[in-house]
Amino acid sequence: MGPPKRVRLAFMDPKQVAQRIRTARAWADLSQDELAEALEVSKATLGRWERGEKVPRSPELFYIAEICGGPRDFFTNPDADITALDAAVDELEQT
């Protein structure tokens, strides 16, 4: 079957990708340590992704989506509706 096909993410701003990673992690109620461990990357690497200093490759973004229970489209489509995830994060932050 081969490795997953890479998707070009050049159209997405690194800060937008970073915000979506943070949103997905918060939505899944995971700490940076927990998500970094699940992704088998260092916490420093995840931190750089979440600050927009680096952008993960598409397979890593898809794995983040899988771990956090969100759609892949959330990381590949700049117009993807993030309202539901944002509302879930707001609810988590209030509890």
Q: Tens digits of per-residue pLDDT, 35-87?
A: 999 999 999 999 999 999 999 998 999 999 999 988 888 887 777 766 656 65
Backbone dihedral angles phi then psi of residue 21, each to the nearest 5 degrees: -65, -45
User: Which of the four pLDDT bands, split at 50, 70 and 90, describes residue 88?
Assistant: low
Res 11: pLDDT:
62
> Which residues make Cβ contacts (< 8 Å) with residue 71, sequence separation at least 6?
65, 80
